[in-house]
């Protein structure tokens, strides 16, 4: 048995000998002087470094681009709508990826022109190309990061206060950028939730006033949320506000997006025929309730949040008032009738409320929809102003 094993090993060594001899002739690791006093490594080493760098690509995509803010906002939008599986995760991630590519286009263009092309033409060393390629990405993160986050990580790292932006090391800039993006994403998510929260409150209150406590408000509110989001062209509105919330996108906005002024309300000559003076007064009331526009700064502060919340409560009361009054008056009339006739039938108190609520929704429904769509449109348009 040992002799047979020895013969097998010897045969395998004879078969591999030519291959090993050829491998010794290949220049595995070679280097040559490059322009600028650097070192030019062989193609095999460059390929190995490239493949190694690709393993860090997901982390770079998540932590150093606009992907984090976009994916969080889209996920919060799905939760606000109440559709737990629609759109599916694949669609949300795909949309976030393509929006990230779109927003990061100026950055990648600079990296390609200033780092990759000179490296491919042997005008820069590999280390110099890495340093040059980090400049646009660094500039992008510096424009989005908050000074408070930079100060926090600088203090934790026990570094001196940098005199210039270029003095901030990447080990401080990257975590500060990530925490700043998380804060920004949750700020936008708060704004995204408000119109749908108003619908939930109105639906739950109306169902309770009708005595339908056993019926889930989530099921009833879902079609109204979807209808409202479709009526305001929510995907276009929210995605546009998301893109405009990144400060480095201003150059591309001039070419691919209408000017900011086009997001404002249309002039009176282009308003629909059902635009009544009463509704015009309501919109003036809404516009003065703490909702910011893209053309002026209104950074989210505790005061701003209180104003937004107060405005949302006022809109909720305004929309639900006709339904509450109709249910209250109907309930009083039915109660007086039951007290006078001694008829205590549960159906007698439920059916009239249901009929009156439906009639009120038919009569006041267009006005309610107009108020909510105008409020939601103004609120979402104010996102870039609050973030900026």
* Structural domain contains residue 204: yes
User: 194 in a domain, yes or no?
Assistant: yes
Q: Is 176 inside a domain boundary?
A: no
CB 241 within 8 A of CB 383: yes
β 39-41/31-33 pair status:
antiparallel
State the distance between the two ends of the chain, measured CA to CA, in whole angstroms: 79
Burial class (CB in 10 A: 0-12, 13-18, 19+), 132: middle
Does the residue 341 lie in any domain?
yes
What number of other Cβ atoms are within 10 A of residue 363's Cβ?
11
Q: Which residues of the chain have pLDDT under 70?
A: 1-54, 57, 60-61, 247-299, 346, 388
Give per-residue pLDDT as tens, 17-34.
Answer: 454 444 444 455 555 555
Any domain includes 118: no
pLDDT at 202: 87
Q: For the beta carbon of residue 112, count every other beta carbon within 10 angstroms.
A: 13
pLDDT computed for residue 146 by the predictor: 86
Q: What confidence tens digit (pLDDT) does each residue in 178-225 have?
A: 999 999 999 999 999 999 999 988 888 888 877 777 778 888 889 899
- Asked if residue 333 is part of any domain, the answer here is yes
Task: Look at residue 21 in the predicted model and tell me its pLDDT.
Answer: 46
- Whole-angstrom distance, CA of residue 80 vs CA of residue 382: 18
Residue 258 in any domain: the answer is: yes
Structure tokens at 51: 């493949």
For 354, residues 6+ apart whose C-beta sits below 8 A from its C-beta are 210
Domain count, the chain: 1
| Structure token pair of residue 190 | 């708060």
Structural domain of 314: 187-387
The reply to whether 268 falls in a domain is yes
């Amino acid at each position: 048995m040992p002799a047979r094993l020895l013969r097998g090993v010897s045969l395998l060594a004879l078969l591999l000998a030519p291959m090993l001899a050829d491998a010794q002739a290949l220049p595995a690791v070679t280097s040559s002087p490059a322009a600028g006093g650097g070192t030019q490594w062989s193609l095999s080493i460059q390929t190995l470094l490239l493949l190694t760098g690709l393993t860090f690509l997901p982390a770079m995509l998540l932590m150093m681009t606009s992907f984090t803010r976009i994916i969080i906002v889209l996920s919060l939008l799905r939760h606000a709508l109440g559709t737990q599986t629609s759109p599916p995760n694949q669609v949300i991630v795909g949309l976030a990826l393509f929006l990230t590519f779109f927003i990061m286009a100026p950055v990648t263009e600079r990296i390609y022109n200033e780092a990759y092309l000179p490296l491919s033409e042997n005008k820069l060393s590999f280390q110099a190309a890495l340093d040059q390629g980090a400049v646009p990405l660094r500039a992008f993160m510096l424009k989005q990061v908050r000074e408070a986050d930079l100060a926090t990580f600088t203090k934790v790292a026990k570094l001196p206060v940098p005199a210039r932006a270029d003095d901030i090391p990447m080990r401080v800039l990257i975590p500060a950028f990530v925490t700043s993006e998380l804060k920004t994403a949750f700020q936008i998510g708060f704004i995204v939730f408000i119109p749908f929260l108003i619908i939930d409150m109105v639906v739950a209150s109306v169902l309770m006033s009708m005595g339908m406590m056993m019926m889930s408000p989530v099921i009833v509110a879902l079609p109204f949320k979807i209808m409202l989001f479709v009526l305001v062209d929510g995907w276009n509105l929210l995605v546009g506000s998301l893109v405009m919330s990144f400060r480095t996108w201003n150059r591309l906005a001039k070419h691919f997006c209408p000017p900011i002024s086009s997001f404002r309300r249309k002039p009176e000559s282009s308003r629909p025929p059902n635009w009544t003076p009463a509704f015009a007064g309501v919109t003036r009331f809404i516009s003065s309730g703490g909702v910011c526009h893209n053309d002026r700064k209104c950074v989210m502060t505790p005061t701003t949040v209180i104003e937004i919340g107060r405005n949302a409560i006022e809109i909720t009361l305004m929309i639900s008032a006709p339904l509450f009054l109709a249910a209250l008056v109907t309930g009083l009339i039915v109660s007086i009738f039951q007290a006078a006739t001694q008829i205590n039938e549960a159906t007698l108190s439920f059916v009239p409320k249901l009929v009156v609520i439906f009639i009120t929704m038919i009569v006041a429904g267009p006005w309610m929809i107009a108020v909510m769509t105008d409020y939601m449109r103004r609120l979402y348009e104010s996102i870039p102003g609050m973030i900026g």
